A and B are shown apart, each in its own frame.
Chain A
């Protein structure tokens, strides 16, 4: 495969997977949130929970659909663009991704139908059970995907046959890979925090617009309360992820730190413009000793620099360096918002602080940005390897793909994804803006045979929009 086709294949995988991760990052947390709302509705029977559940489920549906369809493309690209990788490591990655499809995806897709269409067809407990199964499915999905990626980051439990095929020799070593548990927790928390900020932002938005106050207060209170606990946990687990990178992937760690020379004790580059030509940093601001402290929890440790590795084994520096800093920056911003916002919610003062409501409203992209930049750091930092230390990215690609072939598919993906992303964003925006309108009273509405079929009269074409909002009734 020529260099351009390889680069285009990489761009294609990177852009489709980045597009995809946005939706799981949102729906994993949302599925859990729907379970909580359903359980609260079942136990307290307060209508506010039912309204919120119906509201977020309609948004979940759109995001879930986008996540499913964009996820299918990912598995197929292993075969289409990375056939050498599939041929050689398929015996390991295939079963891992296979478990993802089997246990998780099937679970989600099947029970998803029940949660969407089955509320009046199944007993209440079974409905809650279906919601739990969808949430379990999304979580298991995340586990297997993270496990597979962790094997690519730190391959274990295999031997290489003469044909170049990786034969799995120890599955328990693969599943209990020392890096997967911190990485899985990191991803799961990222998803919960992302969803929490989306829920809080929606609550803040409706409070700013002065509508759906009961629901908005519930949303903002529950979401910020959760985030106030989870964000500090996430920072701690993120540090543990950094520990494994430090110990096992020194090239990635040096790239994140933009550390070119071996240093003892090492300083920490806060911000700089890493220059790969001169192999040094321009405009660097660094703090002495902090690099050793972060890397090894000591003031004297020696930390390795990029120049200790051959140029062919070094990852690009700019992307991991900046992506990591953007991720941490988003995390700190979310910590401030969650703590200060949560404090004001607890004092019942949040509605008087419109600037804070605005800040929370505008914070909804933070979780997504942090998740994306975190993955950029992990994946670009792993380069030039696809399977760390074993298979180079250049050797993983389909050998006979031509530049024109990959360019064609890249354009197709770009066009289709732009259209559906634009449309999906508009739809989710409209659903969020419409807010948690009321559920039709039981016995009327869905079973009313005289309900007009004409779609005029409501802006969205959803039959539930035709019922009178009950939001002015306090629960």
Chain B
């Protein structure tokens, strides 16, 4: 049972990172759009799906709360300030999306909020992962780090890295969904963003080695784990070719593969810990009756159905965004 839920959590986190990743990325790239028409085209590319994408964050939280309440309580309270800032970022972003189409004069303000909200959310998500990799100050299952116990230059670096990564996904999505000026812009940005992501990954690995982070030990113990970074490197290589040949969908798929590789890398470095290296999956798990209760309804029925209708929604809104589809 707990294996099922660990898998489900991993899947929903990955889906969140991927799906909200590209629309947060588009949100950040909005800053580079020169005029209203370009901004509209960009937003139209994510309009039907962004709120569905954000749903996965709520599902992450739901599984954590229901199945791993100890992790939920520990992580959320430890990252108190950054989490609240991230949530307000997501709020600002969500309402700006709805508000901008109802306004003329204040439209630039809402665009600014949208860009800022996307940037802040992406940065804090990256910083949180960085702080987890570096290790939170936890004694006997309780967080003891105080107000800024999560802060470190390494976490900061990871924050910047995830912003670049999301922007890469976003540019890949725009290359796939748009045509004309926006697509040209996306193809111009893709190589730069890919270079930025690679530079970040090299820097993060070097820093992890230099800081003697405990995650690195597991890599030296089991060299087979290097298969994940290798997949990532391969995807980067394919992506360069795809950008060169102006393939419309391939760059996004390569971005997805890079994220999958990075996610796999992190997952195997953490396992069997949920909060490395203090709380394991087994320690964090809720009583079996909770797991079973959530399994028969949510796990067996709703999760597959949600996955299915996510696919349906993406299928319905497949292909290019109509140029005059200017609801946004």
Contact = CB atoms under 8 A, between A and B. Distances in A.
A contact patch SS = helix
Nearest to B97: A65
B142 to A, nearest CB: 8
A122 interface: yes
Contacts of B247: none
A105 B52 CA distance: 9
A106 B102 contact: no
A412 B293 contact: no
Given A72-B90, A73-B87, A79-B77, A90 B69 contact: yes
Interface residues of B, number: 75
Interface stretch (A25-33, A261-269, A342-350, A442-450): A442-450
A424 interface: yes
Contact of A98 (B63, B323, B324, B326): B63
A121 B75 CA distance: 42
B80 interface: yes
Given A75-B61, A110-B310, A447 B294 contact: no
A93 B65 contact: yes
B72 interface: yes
Contacts of B87: 72-73, 76
A66 B96 CA distance: 10
Interface string A166-178: 0111010000000
A95 B294 contact: yes
A72 B80 contact: no
Given A65-B94, A424-B99, A106 B306 contact: yes
By secondary structure, the B interface counts as: helix
A336 interface: no
Contact of A102 (B51, B59, B326): B59
B309 interface: yes
Interface in B181-197: none
Interface residues of A, number: 81
A405 B84 CA distance: 11
B77 A83 contact: yes
A171 B75 CA distance: 27
B293 A423 contact: no
B289 A449 contact: no
Interface stretch (B209-217, B220-228, B296-304): B296-304
B73 A79 contact: yes
Interface string A44-71: 0000000000000000011001101110
26 contacts: A66-B95, A66-B98, A69-B91, A72-B91, A75-B65, A79-B72, A87-B69, A87-B70, A90-B286, A91-B287, A94-B67, A99-B297, A99-B298, A101-B59, A101-B62, A103-B297, A112-B52, A113-B313, A116-B327, A165-B287, A168-B287, A169-B289, A412-B88, A424-B99, A427-B102, A462-B102
Which 9 residue pairs spanning A and B have beta carbons closest together?
A90-B69, A79-B76, A94-B66, A94-B65, A98-B66, A98-B62, A101-B62, A83-B77, A83-B73
Given A79-B65, A86-B76, 10 more contacts: A66-B95, A69-B90, A72-B91, A93-B65, A95-B293, A98-B65, A101-B59, A110-B309, A113-B317, A424-B95
Interface of A: 61-62, 65-66, 68-70, 72-73, 75-76, 78-81, 83-84, 86-87, 89-95, 97-103, 105-106, 109-114, 116-118, 121-122, 161, 165, 167-169, 171, 398, 400-402, 404-405, 408-409, 412-413, 416, 420, 423-424, 427, 430-431, 446-449, 451, 453, 455, 459-463
